[in-house]
Structure 1
Amino acid sequence: MAESTPAEQEAPFRAQLTEYLAHLGVERGLSEHTLAAYRRDLRRYAAFLAVRGRSGFDQVTEADVAGYVEAVRTGADGGHPLSASSTSRAVVAVRGWHRFATVEGHTNNDPAAAVRPPGATKRLPKAIAVEEVDKLLAGASMAEGVLGLRDRALVEVLYGTGARISEVVGLSADDLELHAEHPSIRLFGKGRKERIVPVGRYAVDAMDAYLIRSRPVLAQSGRGNSAVFLNQRGNPLSRQSAWAVLQLAAERGEVAGHISPHTLRHSYATHLLAGGADVRVVQELLGHASVTTTQIYTMVTPDTLREVYAASHPRARG
């Protein structure tokens, strides 16, 4: 007996699939590109169900849906394995189709409601060594004239406070308390949530040099504003321009690897924890709503585990 084709396999669900795709295109207004992706995902799903002997929505179980998710992730159904993002899209398509079938009265059963895409693998945040931070700061200082003072201050504040780039370029003069008994900066994070973070002496000195000798010069070209960091036209420094400052500083300082504002934020948190800071203190400094977000910085690599074991366990030495 000849093996059935994908078109033959999906036949039991063809009418429902055609109806749903028409709904997505006409009523939901999905683009042709998105619609094509949904069509591929759902035809593959219909074929998968048919191979498992399902000929209608009432026969589909949660185990079938979960099995499909695993199949497309690994290629176990004979198709091309999908990436994590593409698998997530496939799960959204399947959940939407089942929900549509329920609303339209094709079935009272929604086996996909509780199925979620597989979690993405957590990666350790990228952090650079303290020596690399020093090289980055040196590279920032290589810019000519007033820009060198600005760039040095920018990098010092990013690394010295762990602030997001949007928080730093959004600083105004009223947010600075650099000469108080305990110098600090007021930052506005996501949702305009305010937090006060301490500033170290290196950042204070760099900011003083910038504010006294550089910013007044830059401000002459502008129309007057309270932004702390300015561009050459006297306007507030943009996120893109701040990013470019870091890229150039890394190039001049010969810092290897990809350096971004988030690299300094990760390095700030990693170096604090390595120095003995409590994770909940770091959570407050970073402005994380949940400590679970901060706890990713406490993850250690297998190499670190082996090193600690070799140095600490009495039976590790042979």
Structure 2
Amino acid sequence: MIRANPFPELMRAFFYEWLVEQRNASIHTVRSYRDTWRLFLRFVAQRAGKKVAMITLADLAASEVTGFLKHAEHERGGTIGTRNCRLAAIRSFFNFVATRDPASIAQCVDIHNIPVKRAPVSEPCYLDPAEVAAILAQPDRSTLEGMRDHALLSFLYNSGARIQEALDLCPEAIRFDTPGCVRLLGKGRKERICPLWPETAVLLKKLLERQPRAPNERMFVNRYGEPLSASGVRFKLAAYVTAAAAIAPTLRTKHVTPHSFRHATAVHLVSAGVDVTVIRSWLGHVSLDTTNHYARANLETKRKALEQVDVPATTGRPPSWKQDVSLLAWLDTL
């Protein structure tokens, strides 16, 4: 009797029973894992010369995972961060398999031992206040689309929200009464409250007056009333940045994305002397180390710190080690 292939059932149980029901993972995590497994299974099927439906658990060896990660980084042009996200999705599945199929534990351990690749940590690209002002001046606020874009970009800068956090915003999450604030749902379903400038609250209120939305409907929508996508926002922002470069030429050398406004918020809060623990709560960081990264990024803060340090006084006499002629002569012979 031929034993049925357990892999499809394990995959179904992983997504529906473990990831959704037991872990209560967000829709973004589920979609990320789904995309990883789509790519991985196609990669394995092509290398094995078989259809995806015929793949077994034994086909998913550690060597195949390593080959897929190399393919994802070098041939598909993904970043090291993307490569590590793919590995996390695959590891998660095999951690689950180890609890369901003890006979596959050796294979699961081999895959779990594939190391995460370290990537160089670069300074975050943030915007100066003048650059933010130049970008915010670009949308044509006489049109509904321009009003929406101006309100969205202003909200990103005010709240430091991630782009998806902003796009998920509903009117019921906003308090328009003074003092204004907004409730955001971030990574790991963590909720946080961010203050709103009166100007930002007015922009959001006017947008709702011109384009009414139900309390539980998303605020930022396209011309068809459908929620905006992150890729759509990036496309619009690129056009505004190109136009703003005529006012702020430094924008030509920067790769500006919606996340750049989050970086700008953090750096400008640091410049204003706000405590990093407050900034961590403001941005929804889990670790204070993440917030401290912005404290290192601000050149103006470094310059102010340097100005508080006295310049060392110089004397006319050379250092003591330079006064020893015999020592210098000996060093010259080396």
Matches within 5 A, 1:15-30: 27-30=57-60
2:171–2:215 contact (8 Å) kept in structure 1: no
SS of structure 1 residue aligned to 2:138:
helix
Q: Which of 174, 196, 199 is matched with 1:199 structurally?
A: 196
Shift of 1:229: 1.2
Which residue in 2 is equivalent to 1:55? Answer: none
Which residue in 1 is equivalent to 2:11? Answer: none
Which residue in 2 is equivalent to 1:231? Answer: 222
1:240-294 CA distances to partner (integer Å, 9 max, x unpaired)? 2222232222122224322111100011001001110110100001111121221
Which residue in 2 is equivalent to 1:9? Answer: none
CA distance in 2, matches of 1:287, 1:87: 24
Report the residue type matching 1:293 in the other structure: T
Structural RMSD (CA): 4.3
CA distance in 1, matches of 2:131, 2:144: 24
Query: Is residue 193 of structure 2 the alignment partner of residue 215 of structure 1?
Result: no
CA distance in 2, matches of 1:196, 1:312: 35
1:95-123 CA distances to partner (integer Å, 9 max, x unpaired)? xxxxxxx959xxxxx9xx99966743221
Change (3 A) 1:300 1:268: closer
Report the residue type matching 1:129 in the other structure: D
CA distance in 1, matches of 2:199, 2:239: 21
Shift of 1:202: 2.4
CA distance in 2, matches of 1:145, 1:302: 38
Shift of 1:36: 8.3
After TM superposition, the score normalised by the length of structure 1 is 0.60
Which residue in 1 is equivalent to 2:19? Answer: none
Which residue in 1 is equivalent to 2:290? Answer: 293
Which residue in 2 is equivalent to 1:134? Answer: 133
Change (3 A) 1:144 1:284: same
Change (3 A) 1:301 1:116: farther
Shift of 1:210: 1.6
Which residue in 2 is equivalent to 1:161? Answer: 159
CA distance in 1, matches of 2:262, 2:137: 18
Q: Which runs of 5+ in 1 are unaligned?
A: 1-20, 41-82, 93-101, 105-109
Query: Is residue 314 of structure 2 the alignment partner of residue 314 of structure 1?
Result: no
Shift of 1:230: 1.5
Query: Is residue 251 of structure 2 the alignment partner of residue 253 of structure 1?
Result: no
Shift of 1:314: 2.3
2:125–2:256 contact (8 Å) kept in structure 1: no
Q: Which of 204, 211, 235 is matched with 1:244 structurally?
A: 235
1:283–1:294 contact (8 Å) kept in structure 2: yes
Report the residue type matching 2:157 in the other structure: Y
Matches within 5 A, 1:82-93: none
Shift of 1:145: 1.1
2:151–2:207 contact (8 Å) kept in structure 1: yes
Shift of 1:316: 4.4
CA distance in 2, matches of 1:207, 1:86: 34
Report the residue type matching 2:230 in the other structure: R
Structure 1 range deviating more: 113-122 or 294-303:
113-122
1:310–1:317 contact (8 Å) kept in structure 2: no
Report the residue type matching 2:270 in the other structure: L
Shift of 1:310: 5.5
Change (3 A) 1:114 1:168: closer
Q: Which runs of 5+ in 2 are unaligned?
A: 1-46, 49-54, 71-78, 89-104, 246-250, 315-334
Report the residue type matching 2:127 in the other structure: I
Report the residue type matching 1:287 in the other structure: G
After TM superposition, the score normalised by the length of structure 2 is 0.57
In the alignment of these two chains, the number of paired residues is: 233
Shift of 1:225: 6.7
Higher helix content, 1 or 2: 2
CA distance in 2, matches of 1:210, 1:268: 23
1:114-163 CA distances to partner (integer Å, 9 max, x unpaired)? 996674322111101000000010013x3661111111100010000000
CA distance in 1, matches of 2:81, 2:165: 29
1:216-240 CA distances to partner (integer Å, 9 max, x unpaired)? 4xx7xxx997211121001222222
SS of structure 2 residue aligned to 1:209:
helix
Change (3 A) 1:85 1:198: closer
2:170–2:215 contact (8 Å) kept in structure 1: no
Q: Which of 188, 199, 221 is matched with 2:185 structurally?
A: 188
1:139–1:251 contact (8 Å) kept in structure 2: no
Report the residue type matching 1:162 in the other structure: G
CA distance in 2, matches of 1:181, 1:36: 55
